[in-house]
Amino acid sequence: MTARNGIRLSVLSLFLACLAILHAGCAASSARRKGADFLGNDRFEEAVQWLETARSEDPGNAEICRDLGIAYYRKLDFQNALRFLLESFVTDSTDSRTLFYLGTLYETLKDYPRAMDIYRRYTETDRDGRMAGLLEARLTRLIRLRMQEEAKAALAAESSIDVSALSDDAVAVLYFRNLGKRRDLDPVRKGLADMMITDLSKVKALRVVERIRMQKMLEEMGLGASGLVSDATAPRVGRLLGASRLIQGSFLDLAKETVRLDAGCVAVGKNRAAASSRAQGKWNAFFRLEKDLVFSVLDRLGIQPTQAERDAIAPVPTENFLAFLAYCRGIDYEDRGMYMDAGREFRKAAELDPGYGPASEGADRSDRLTVSMTPVADLERIFRNRVDEIGPAAETRAAGSGTEEETTEETAAETETGPAEESPGPVIRADAAETGTDAGFQPTTPSLQPDAPWVNRMFDTADLLDRGFLPGVDQRRPTQEQEQPAFGNSASFELSIPLPPE
């Protein structure tokens, strides 16, 4: 064979190889288009068949894996849906459709930490779109659902709790008792505790239990309606919250426009109350009295705050007691799942004192919680409609163009017609509970966050889950934890984790 013939054969072989690759690519593209068409027409079996063919011809294609995962998701085969959506996610972690369906799948499977991590990634990819606003609102609800799960886990592990191992710097502030006869002041019980939690959280030497987390624990213990904890029950609450010390207090409406505030500290392990602190004065000085009480409690705890910490605690959030009372009612409505009523009270507080920051934050939070009640099926419908409007080419750039304010106003009317309690978990489709599809499988997923002992996990929840983009949503975390790495910096190694049953 001459050199020229050898060159011709090499060129021919290369041409045939390129032709084969082109043919395979065309075949995969054709199969993918057919699969996408069937998926768009809700013919999931045919969609899966064509997309499986496309994947076999082009196995590294992230978009094919994504569409295949969506097809399995919509036919309620969660095991395969998770498998292919994760495969797509590993290849392209910024694709909005992959992130949306992977996040809602994790939420449906009640894997709240991973759902929150994926939703956060979505909001970072699409900061201004309508779906980003909806998912930010959803994160607010998932934070509370996770706290509820942690409360259940603590109750289940109660017998194994070693009181001596509880951290000395962990403190919980219980709701104050109203010792007077004015029942219209009952909401102050929670508002006063809320203020004290806010102030004590500014002291680096303390780890203060979040009010929402305490509320979830009280609900699991059957004490959520009143929020009142007896002297006999208090040590148990402290153990379950991982707090070595409890602050219990009361307030009393006295004659001549006078109020008395009392607070004492209970050492959980010793079950012994220390001397109580007291502040008394006119109602119009109520907020200054609360500050005096906080500094007195710190002294009882043996903690000397720095000057910077004292300066951070000293400012009062409002001088308007009516605004504060409306804020307290908002907290109570929020705890009862009556988010629209809560929002009305928070906005009333903000109107009475436009500079009252917690009131504005509460109004924003209640709006988010109202929006967050959207069922997963409706959330998916909104997402699909938006993708159809903007087209596949634009979906990764932005999943929507509405503002967060528009989202809140539009969806609030759609999602809440009256008081609503938080449901234990979302539902993708009406028939999902009947199928029982893949409830107990054990998928292998990228590790997003290693599991921690339940006490540490409970203390870290608010810090790790609220960081960065949820203003006013339970952000009062211990100061010393603020420099921890952000949640969601995931590695690509694998960890097999059993999912909870439906």
Q: What is the DSSP string of 319-341?
A: S-HHHHHHHHHHHHHHHTT-HHH
Distance CA 42, CA 388 (A): 14
Instruction: Give mean pLDDT, residues 225-251.
Output: 83
Q: What pLDDT is attached to residue 42?
A: 84
399-439: pLDDT as tens digits: 333 333 444 444 444 444 433 443 333 333 333 333 333 43
> Measured between alpha carbons, how far is 212 from 369 in angstroms, rounded to an integer?
13
The confidence score (pLDDT) of residue 90 equals 92
The pLDDT tens digits for 6-62 are 555 554 455 444 444 444 444 557 888 888 888 888 888 888 888 888 888 888 899
Reply yes or no on whether the pLDDT at 213 is more than 50.
yes
The CATH number of whichever domain residue 298 belongs to comes to 3.40.50.10070
471 CB contacts (<8 Å, ≥6 apart)? 361, 364
Indicate whether 293 belongs to any domain.
Answer: yes
Decide if pLDDT at 364 tops 70.
yes
Map 53-94 to HEC letters. HHHHHCCCCHHHHHHHHHHHHHCCCHHHHHHHHHHHHHHCCC
Structure tokens that stand for 494 in this block: 């694998």
How much of the chain, in percent, has pLDDT values that exceed 70?
69
More confident residue, 494 or 172: 172
* Segment of 33-47, 331-345, 444-458 carrying the highest mean pLDDT: 331-345
Residue 455 CB-half CA count within 13 A? 21
In a domain, 399, yes or no: no
Q: Is the pLDDT of residue 140 over 80?
A: yes
Let me know if residue 111 belongs to a domain. no
In this prediction, residue 227 has a pLDDT band, given cuts at 50, 70 and 90, of low
Mean of the pLDDT values across residues 203-219? 92
More confident residue, 249 or 448: 249
Does any domain span residue 90? no
Nearest to 172 by CA among 246, 257, 102: 246
What confidence score (pLDDT) does residue 224 get? Answer: 66
Q: With cut-offs at 50, 70 and 90, classify the pLDDT of residue 495.
A: very low
- Could you tell me the two tokens for 214? 């305490």
Q: Indicate the number of domains in the chain.
A: 1
Output the pLDDT for position 273. 60
User: Residue 389: which pLDDT band, with cuts at 50, 70 and 90?
Assistant: low
The pLDDT, as a whole number, for residue 35 is 81
Mean pLDDT of 303-318: 95
Residue 297, in any domain of the structure: yes
Q: What is the mean pLDDT of residues 225-252?
A: 83
Is residue 370, in this structure, part of any structural domain at all? no
In this model, does residue 351 exceed pLDDT 80?
A: yes
Determine the angle formed by the axes of helices 130-156 and 404-415, rounding to 10 degrees.
Answer: 60
Residue carrying the six token digits 């054990």: 442
Residue 421, amino acid: E
Residue of 485 and 188 predicted with greater confidence: 188
Q: Do the beta carbons of residue 480 and residue 149 sit within 8 Å? A: no
Whether 83 and 71 have beta carbons less than 8 Å apart is answered as: no
- Copy the structure tokens of residue 249: 């207090």
Least confident stretch, 96-110, 119-133, 414-428: 414-428
Pick the range with the lowest mean pLDDT from 223-227, 330-334, 340-344, 388-392: 388-392
Tokens linked to 327: 């804020």
Average pLDDT, the chain: 76
Does pLDDT of 440 surpass 80? no
How much is the pLDDT for 474?
39
CA-based end-to-end distance of the chain: 70
- Residue 298 in domain: yes
**This prediction's pTM:** 0.71
SS3 assignment, position 95: coil
Residue 197 lies in a domain: yes
Segment 446-459 shows an average pLDDT of 43
Q: What contacts 365, CB < 8 A, 6 or more positions away?
A: 140, 334, 346, 472, 473
Give the per-residue pLDDT at 295.
95
**Domain of 236, in residue numbers:** 161-316
Torsion angles phi and psi, residue 244, rounded to 5: -85, -20
Cα–Cα dist 452/267, whole Å: 25
Average of pLDDT values for 302-327? Answer: 95
Residue type, 283: W
Predicted confidence (pLDDT) at residue 455 exceeds the cutoff of 60: no
Q: pLDDT tens across 150-188, in order?
A: 999 898 888 888 887 888 889 999 999 999 999 999 999
Distance CA 117, CA 40 (A): 28
Per the DSSP assignment, residues forming a β-bridge with 267 are 245, 272
What residue spans of 165-285 are helical by DSSP H?
188-200, 211-220, 234-241
